[in-house]
Chain A
Amino acid sequence: MTVWRIVFKSLRQHALSTLITAFSVALAGGLLMSVWSIQAQSEATFTGVNAGFDAVLGARGSQLQLVLNAIFNLEASPGNLAWSDFLDIQKNPDVELAVPIAVGDNYRGYRIVGTTLDLFKKAEYAPGRRFALQPGGNWFDPLRREAVVGDFVARKMSLKLGDTFHPFHGLIFNEKDQHSETYVVVGVLKPSNTPADRVIWIPLEGIQKMSGHDPALATEVSAVLVKLKADSPLAGFQMDLMYNRQGNRLTFAWPIATVMAELFDKIGWFNRVLALVSYLVAIVATASILAGIYNSMNERRREIAILRTLGARRGTLFSCILLEAASISTLGMLAGFVVYGIIFTVAAGIIRAQTGVVLDPFKFNPVMLWAPAVLIVLGALAGIVPAVKAYRTDIARNLAPIS
């Protein structure tokens, strides 16, 4: 009780120094936890998102680009493939579902994707979950200029049922490239927390026959999303062999998770740099605890001498300083969760806006246990040097004046 009272008093007496030091620990802890959590969740989410498909068939090129374009609605399409290629794979007995998509237009920066209703009615974007419409909406009629809008786009662009819009040519918004066609919003998707939320979906033919598009492309698609039959375990290998090894015209990106994992392998160095930065911040925070307490030891020497005169043991004062250091880092770590929440929320907002993928700041990651534990222990260890100084304080020399 006495030890805690002394620690509390000391923290209060050095409130400014305590707050500044705790803040540096909070930054370190928050940064460490957010870097770790965002990295882990991003990797798990991006490699886990497949829109309910096993593979993507597209023009010859990078598998990663194909997946980013077809599944995440990012990047440009590596090229088109013929309608007959779609029909071929659709007829393959190992294929359960094949859905063609066509890209090439946007609405004020949000991608417009042409597809068939199979994407909404047959595909499950997550096990047991199909895309659904918000009340009052309908799926688009494949023969009309109608659109189903992703939840995120609807909110950002304030699009609602009955609204009309003109698509813009290309994937990057340019006001001068407006198409003359007018589309009507007939449905808004319920949030799926997938990249589909930030897309405007229209009938496949809409993209293929949009005014200004090359008429030669009217029978082509950008990619085909492929779901393999569950009872054909070798189908993926066979198609990989057929399209990627034996053929030279198309690319079969399979399995999607492995393709995405390559992306994280490629940017692994960036995560390591971020982790290194957070380690350095943690070391700086620990050093600031040491410096903060150590620098205050001169002014505390008399107080320590008085406490010793009152009967406090050396060990008691040693413990007080260690506990003080640990308390500062504990306070810092409590605030660190707030810092974590802020960093994560901002980063998750950016990731959602860019990809439609939703990260959850409340999802548990082991870093939330080990980072606070490590920082608190480091903080306590930082208290050892000043604690030794307290332990060795000469009472008589610090009880001025001497008569």
Chain B
Amino acid sequence: MPLLAISQLVKSFIAPDGSEHTVINVKQFTLDDKAHVALQGESGSGKTTFLHLIAGILKPDSGSITIAGQAMSALGEPQRDRLRAMTIGYIFQTFNLLQGYTCLENVLLGMSFGAGMDKAFAETLLERVGLSDRLKHYPRQLSIGQQQRVAVARALANRPKLVLADEPTGNLDPRNARKSVTLIREACRENGAALLLVSHDRETLSQFEKTREFELINRGSSEEANL
């Protein structure tokens, strides 16, 4: 059974002119346990919305999303929050670190809503991403690359089965982008997490063995969707 299974997923938004605009229309999509997959798509193509739907941040209009055997649509919001905290790690393009919290606290806070705070593991994660000497630094005291590494550590804090990465290299220079993708993949592999990364950057996508066109998936092509 795949880790992530999506079927007949539809999400529409009402445009300012009142017309309905279907952003997501995925007939079928699966992701195996521990698989690393990159989705290629241009800006505005609905990649973030797709990840938000998977993470339970948005509710679909119709269709089903099953993660680790749990159907999202059958869960109430508190259970979806719990599933997100326990099963999914999220890496944002802008990292979304909490500015008032130190590196260590950012990672610990990620744990607090999931499996519970484990300071030793949080320090191990930060050490793994090369920030053992920055535990008590605040995000503003770190370089962009370092901030992203904190975000990677936080995403893995609850030992998630699935890591969603939304344009994680969007704010990095090519050299750091390459190192960053390598780090994310290694960290996911070491922690046994599947990785679903979306990006429009060809250099980033080239680091993946499996890359798919998001537009083809979103058009409902089932051949493109089975990964």
A and B assemble together: yes
Interface residue A351 (Cβ < 8 Å from any Cβ of B):
no
Please give, as numbers and ranges, the residues of chain A lying within 8 Å of B94 by CB-CB distance.
400-401
Contact A396 B81 (CB under 8 A): no
Given A306-B98, A396-B52, decide whether A313 and B81 contact each other with a Cβ distance below 8 A. Answer: yes
Instruction: Assess whether B109 is in contact with A403, with CB atoms less than 8 Å apart.
Output: no
Q: Is A10 an interface residue (CB 8 A)?
A: yes
How far is it, in angstroms, between the C-alpha of A9 and the C-alpha of B105 when the chains are bound? 11
Q: CB-CB < 8 A to A311: which residues of B?
A: 81-82, 84-86, 113-114, 158
In the complex, whether B16 has a CB less than 8 A from a CB of chain A is: no
Option from B52, B82, B101 in Cβ contact (under 8 Å) with A9: B101
Are A9's CB and B100's CB within 8 A?
yes
Q: In the complex, which range does the number of interface residues on chain A fall in?
A: 20 to 34
CB closest residue in chain B, given A400: B94
Q: Would A308 and B57 count as touching, CB distance under 8 A?
A: yes
Q: Which residue of B47, B82, B86, B113 contacts A2 across the interface (Cβ within 8 Å)?
A: B113
Minimal beta-carbon separation of A401 from chain B (angstroms): 6
Q: Does residue A13 face the partner (Cβ distance < 8 Å to B)?
A: yes
The listed residue (A1, A13, A308) touching B81 by CB distance below 8 A is A308
Max chain A Cβ within 10 angstroms of own Cβ: one of B58, B81, B166, B198: B81
- Shortest C-beta distance, B179 to chain A (Å), equals 21
B43: which A residues are within 8 A, CB to CB? 403
Q: Do A12 and B112 touch (CB < 8 A)?
A: no
Query: In the complex, are the beta carbons of A403 and B170 less than 8 A apart?
Result: yes
- Which residues in chain B, 95-114, are within 8 Å of chain A measured between CB atoms? 96-101, 105, 109-110, 112-114
B78 at the interface (CB under 8 A from A): yes
Contact of B96 with A309 in the complex, beta carbons under 8 Å? yes
Measured CA separation A10–B100 after assembly (Å): 8
- How far apart are B151's CB and chain A's nearest CB, in angstroms? 10
Contact across chains for B113 and A403 when beta carbons are under 8 A apart = no
The answer, yes or no, to whether B55 is at the interface (CB within 8 Å) is: yes
Bound-complex Cα distance A310 to B95 (A): 12
Complex Cα distance A10/B109, Å?
14
Q: Would you call B215 an interface residue if the criterion is a C-beta within 8 Å of the partner chain's C-beta atoms?
A: no
Q: Mark A348-379, 1 if CB is under 8 A from B, else 0.
A: 00000000000000000000000000000000
Nearest-CB residue, chain A, relative to B43: A403
Q: Which residues of A contact B114 (CB under 8 A)?
A: 310-311
- Partner pick for A309 among B78, B90, B170, CB 8 A cutoff: B90
Interface centre among A10, A306, A316 (most CB of B within 10 A): A306
Given the complex, which residues of B lie within 8 Å of A314, measured CB to CB?
77
A276 at the interface (CB under 8 A from B): no
Residues of A within 8 Å of B77, CB to CB, are 313-314
Pair A399/B109 contact, Cβ less than 8 Å: no
Bound Cα distance A2, B109 (Å): 7
Tell me the residues in window 38-60 of chain B with beta carbons closer than 8 Å to chain A beta carbons: 41, 43-45, 47-49, 52, 55, 57-58
- Cα–Cα, bound, A364→B148 (Å): 57
* B19 CB, nearest partner CB in chain A, Å: 19
A302 to B96, CA, bound (A): 8
Q: Would you give the shortest CB distance from B41 to chain A, in whole angstroms? A: 8
B124 at the interface (CB under 8 A from A): no
Most buried by B among A6, A12, A307, A309: A309
Kindly identify, within residues 265 to 285 of chain A, every residue whose CB is under 8 Å from any CB belonging to chain B. none
Q: What B residues does A313 contact at CB under 8 A?
A: 77-78, 81, 113
CB distance from A52 to the nearest CB of B (A): 64
Least CB distance from B136 to A in Å reads 14
Interface: A5 (CB within 8 A): yes
**Is there a chain B Cβ closer than 8 Å to A303's Cβ?**
yes
Interface residue ranges, A against B (CB under 8 Å): 1-2, 5-6, 9-10, 12-13, 302-303, 306-316, 395-396, 399-403
A-B contacts, 11 listed (Cβ < 8 Å): A2-B109, A303-B98, A306-B96, A306-B98, A307-B98, A309-B90, A311-B85, A401-B93, A402-B44, A403-B166, A403-B198
